[in-house]
Chains A and B, each alone.
Chain A
Amino acid sequence: MMLALEMYRSPAKYLAAKAVGGRIPGMLTGPAAPLRLVTINEPKADREGWARIRPILSGICGSDLGMVTGSTKMYFSAVVSLPFVPGHEIVGELLDDCEDLPKGTRVVMDSVLTCATRGVELCEGCAAGNTNRCDRITVGHLKPGLQTGFCQDTGGGWGNLMVAHRSQLYAVPEGLSDERAVLVEPLAGAVHAAFRANVQPGQSVLISGAGAVGLFATLAIRELTQAGRITVVAKHPKQRELARAFGASDVVAPDEVFRGVRRSTGAFRLKPDLGAKEFLLGGVDIAVDAVGSKDSIDTVLRVTKAGGRVVLSGMPSTGVDLSPVWFRELDLAGTYASATSEPNGRPAFETALELAGRAPLDGVVGAKYPLYRWREALDHAHSAGRLGTVKVAFDVRAS
């Protein structure tokens, strides 16, 4: 038996969180949370290539918060299997030998549950190394689940024990601290986003949002591409400071985006009638939405130059006005998780491990909580930007 936080099916709580969560944030981590701390059976690692992992640190991701707050779309209900233990950003220790990785190895995990993990013939995506595009995430010997942390069979990082397949694991180099290693999964996502952005030398980039997704995207784009000016939209002082440290050329407040981008690109600024949101003629070459809100996506679509590229890195909201995509012939690109074969010929995780070793990431994990203080942890994560924190993590060993 093990201690774990479990996400369970509760339509009433889901609806309650969705209805009032925005106005009464305390509800989301209080009575309306479809999450509970329970003692449950440990997941089994009885198939070849699988091993047990004891999580050391497990991060709280925006998608985890989305589930708790009911903002995740029902679209994803078909690719999860409730109840499940969340947590897909982990650094842990192998409790079993796992093929070439001996017991006791510190590992990080690519959480996507691909064909290889499910024991089915490789789909087109997996065969090409685009494992994040796997088409078989609901079949095979595992219950449906797009990733570890959304699947009933694998457990997740918010529990004392979980299981993972060898294809998901990467050994953590000696000398890389747990606090840096737990950031490798979101960094890998940022590496993938940087490649999806397809930045050409000298091109201008706007990154809307300076939470973990936006900041890591800034870091990856600056490190892996020859981007010109990178403008980051950041709300809070700590975010602004980190954005600059991660490679932003300039940082603007959310209500300054149109002004800032217009200034830096020499674009023309137009204001439609009847209070409709303004837009630019001209603008950045590439914009990355790292928030997912309607407002953020609306903004990036409106400040990207004709023929430019908009990358959706945050889980997108509904109700976005797509007129600029049509009128300005924008390329709209999604970016989800990361692939084992990125354009640089390497798994995103390998690149992310290198970045985690050299980037100025000290202090990025701003708070650690034991599992039994999960309400405080989620409250903190929910207000992380305001509180000057980038990443909140569960310290699972302390639980």
Chain B
Amino acid sequence: MSRPGFVLEVDDRTPPLIVHNGEGFLLERFPLGTRVVYPPEALPAVRDVEEAIQNALLNPIESEPLPELLHAGMRLTIAFDDISLPLPPMKKPDIRQRVIEAVLELAAQAGVDDVEIISANALHRRLTPNELRDIVGERVFRSFFPEGKLYNFDAEDSDNLTHLGVTKHGEDVEISKRAAESDLLVYVNVNLVAMDGGHKSTSIGLASYKSLKHHHNSHTMIHSRSFMDHKASKMHHSAWRMGEVLTEHVKVFQIETTLNNDLFSGGLGFLQKREWEWSLKDQASMLAAKRGLAAAPNKLRHKIYTDVRSPYGLTGINAGKIEPVHEKTIEMVHRQHMVEVQGQADVGVIGVPYLSPYNVNSVMNPILAAVMGMGYHFNAYRGNPIVRKDGALILYHPVPYEFSQLHHPSYVDFFEEVLSESTDPATIEAKFEKQYAEDPWYIHLYRTSYAYHGVHPFYMWYWISHALDHCGDIVWVGANRKTVERMGFRSASTLQDALEMVSHSVGRSPSITYLHNPPHLIADVR
């Protein structure tokens, strides 16, 4: 039986605690009284995954069983979540492969031969053939990719987009033409955290910039409290409205899967455990990892982390109509991630790990480090943020000046050009977003290379706008001073220095909450 998450109060006996710090980790001694939020242990995994998949497809929620929706001569499109999920990537076989294979088997039995499989990457970068293969598996890849029937969605291919209409709020709903004109769209989702899935899947994953800009903007993002609670998130409200329009035109069979918190194994298995429960083997692994990573050249360290594959277990699979399916999904995700926290703190502490949804097989540039800390982890709450209004946020990450020209070309320009002029999301949006969104070079790289769309760094910056608005002080521990200053933050050498720096706003004895994440958690702040 897995134990729930809990909040530890640091006392004299508390050992130094793991803090994720990019491609490495620290053992940090927190001030006495610091509250440390630990995620729940991994929930038990479904024993027979194939049976669970079959059960979901044959006994869907508020929908006919999938075989009844399949018939010869129909157009079937299968869309799936792209490489940004799950984090870290899953050990093979990927759950999407198993589900897609099951759907294809039923389609074949029904005589469906017009099938296309689309990576729902929206404005994310295209997946390489190898990355597609890793997700859908060798068999599906070989059958569909050479024929051009397995491909990345292209949000700039205007010939292959369909405008389905506008929501009651005037939001355009424009998605993949193939999906829009299919007799059935099967969406295969991996719901790692609560913000994923539901109407966000299709109406964001297969949408164009024209559609996305209605909710991916500074105003919506700043008013989304929190992204982990779709009922309190303006972005999700917009996606839900779009979903209503979309489902009027397209029959969607939603398949959502949930994974447990089994992220680290082998030499990094100690990261799954609470520090005072480390066995001798765990302690030896920790020491070996710590010293090995410290001594390793950057490239080797990067490779060690990039090669991490998680042994997630499937905790649930639900299929059928989008809303009720997503309710079940959210219930399971909350069971896995939710930790009750009493009250907000003056200071929140977050260790930013090496990986975000947008640097899988790439490098975490300064903007992505900020987004991981202030977008994802800060927003990993329900109710209230872990930090009080105008409190301080202390983040750990080296934030090196490092960009991938292949994956993030517009990020470099955003960092150099846009952030040097302003860090205010609304100002940035008004002055620069359109230029970047319509820059022909970025569009070219997005469509033909493996680059995120030119507008993507703007979305990342909007992501952190809630934290920027909420926190009075943001300090990074151990970060490159120049890079964090460009982003409008400050850098400290140690936690003590950081606490000293924020003391003018939170006092000399602030209450502190440290999110011990990952493994993933959602702080249910009462």
| Chain A residues proximal to chain B, CB less than 8 Å | 250, 256, 259-260, 262-263, 266-269
Task: Please name the residue on chain B nearest to A253 by beta carbon.
Answer: B416
Give chain B interface residues in 435-468, CB to chain A under 8 Å: 439-441, 444
A259 near B441: Cβ-Cβ < 8 Å: no
For residue A243, give the distance in angstroms from its CB to the closest CB of chain B: 14
Question: What is the CB-to-nearest-CB distance from B450 to chain A, in angstroms, rounded to a whole number?
Answer: 15
> Would you give the shortest CB distance from A199 to chain B, in whole angstroms?
23
- 6 CB contacts below 8 A, A to B, read A259-B413, A259-B416, A260-B416, A262-B441, A263-B413, A268-B441
B412 touches A259 (CB 8 A): yes
When the two chains form their complex, are residues A269 and B417 in contact, meaning their CB atoms are under 8 A apart?
Answer: no
Tell me the smallest distance from the CB of B419 to a CB of chain A, in Å.
13
B404 to chain A minimum Cβ distance, whole angstroms, is 14
Residues of B within 8 A of A267 (CB): 441
Quote the shortest CB–CB distance from A184 to chain B (angstroms).
34
Closest to B443 in A: A266
Q: Which residue numbers of B lie inside 8 Å of A, CB to CB?
A: 412-413, 416-417, 439-441, 444
Residues on the B chain within 8 Å of A256, using CB: 416
Residue in B closest to A267 when the chains form the complex, CB atoms: B441
Q: Given A263-B413, A263-B417, A268-B440, 16 more contacts at CB 8 Å?
A: A250-B417, A256-B416, A259-B412, A259-B413, A259-B416, A260-B416, A260-B417, A262-B441, A263-B439, A266-B439, A266-B440, A266-B441, A267-B441, A268-B441, A268-B444, A269-B441
Question: A206 to nearest B CB, angstroms?
Answer: 15
Q: Which residue of B lies closest to A262 (CB)?
A: B441
Q: In the assembled complex, which residues on chain B have CB atoms less than 8 Å from the CB atom of A268?
A: 440-441, 444
**CA of A266 to CA of B439, assembled, Å:** 6
CA distance A263 to B439 in the complex (A): 8
CB distance from A295 to the nearest CB of B (A): 20
In the complex the two chains form, what is the Cα distance from A263 to B416 in whole Å?
Answer: 11
* B441 CB contacts on chain A under 8 angstroms: 262, 266-269
A110→B416 CA distance, assembly (Å)? 42
Give the residue name and chain of the B residue nearest to A264 (CB): B417
Which chain A positions have C-beta within 8 A of B416? 256, 259-260
Q: How far, in whole Å, are A269 and B444 apart by their CA atoms in the complex?
A: 11
Residue of A nearest to B410 (CB): A263
List of A residues within 8 angstroms of B444 by Cβ = 268
* Residues on the A chain within 8 Å of B412, using CB: 259
Bound complex: CA A259 to CA B414 (Å): 11
Minimal Cβ-Cβ distance residue in A for B436: A263
> Nearest 8 A-B pairs (CB), nearest first?
A263-B413, A268-B441, A266-B440, A266-B439, A263-B417, A259-B413, A256-B416, A262-B441
- A259 surroundings in chain B (CB, below 8 A): 412-413, 416
**How far does the alpha carbon of A224 sit from the alpha carbon of B441 in the complex, in Å?**
32
B439: which A residues are within 8 A, CB to CB?
263, 266
Q: Which residue of A lies closest to B412 (CB)?
A: A259
Residue of B nearest to A256 (CB): B416
Complex CA–CA separation, A346 to B357 (angstroms): 63
Contacts of A269 in B (CB 8 A): 441
Distance between Cα atoms of A357 and B241 in the complex (Å): 63
Most buried by A among B412, B413, B441, B444: B441
Q: How far is the CA of A130 from the CA of B98 in the complex (A)?
A: 80
- Give the distance to chain B from A303, nearest Cβ to Cβ, in Å: 13
Q: Whose C-beta in chain B lies nearest to the C-beta of A281?
A: B441
User: Chain B residues with Cβ under 8 A from A262's Cβ?
Assistant: 441
Report B6 CB to chain A, min CB distance, Å. 48
Q: How far is the CA of A359 from the CA of B195 in the complex (A)?
A: 56
Q: Taking the nearest CB of chain B, how far is it from the CB of A213, in angstroms?
A: 25
> Nearest residue in A to B439 (C-beta to C-beta)?
A266
Report Cα–Cα, A269/B441, bound state, in Å.
8
Residues in chain B near residue A260, CB distance under 8 A? 416-417
* Distance of A375 from chain B, by nearest CB (Å): 36
A250 and B441 CA atoms in complex are apart in Å by 20
Complex CA–CA separation, A303 to B439 (angstroms): 17
Report the nearest A residue to B409, measured CB to CB: A269
Q: How far is the CA of A250 from the CA of B417 in the complex (A)?
A: 9
A221 to chain B, nearest CB (A): 22
CB distance from A393 to the nearest CB of B (A): 33
A371 to B173: give the CA distance in the assembly, Å.
Answer: 75
Report chain B residues within 8 Å CB of A263. 413, 417, 439
Task: For B417, give the chain A residue with the smallest CB separation.
Answer: A263
A254 to chain B, nearest CB (A): 13
B94 to chain A, nearest CB (A): 34
List, in ascending order, chain B residues with CB within 8 A of A250's CB: 417
> In the bound complex, what is the Cα–Cα distance between A262 and B454 (angstroms)?
13
Closest residue to B418 on the A side, CB-wise? A263
Give Cα A266 to B440, complex, Å. Answer: 6
Report the Cα distance A92→B389, complex, angstroms. Answer: 66
Q: How far is the CB of B417 from chain A (nearest CB, A)?
A: 6
Cα separation A93 to B512 with both chains bound (whole Å):
73
Task: Look across to chain A and name the residue whose beta carbon is closest to the beta carbon of B440.
Answer: A266
Q: Which residue on chain A has the smallest CB distance to residue B441?
A: A268
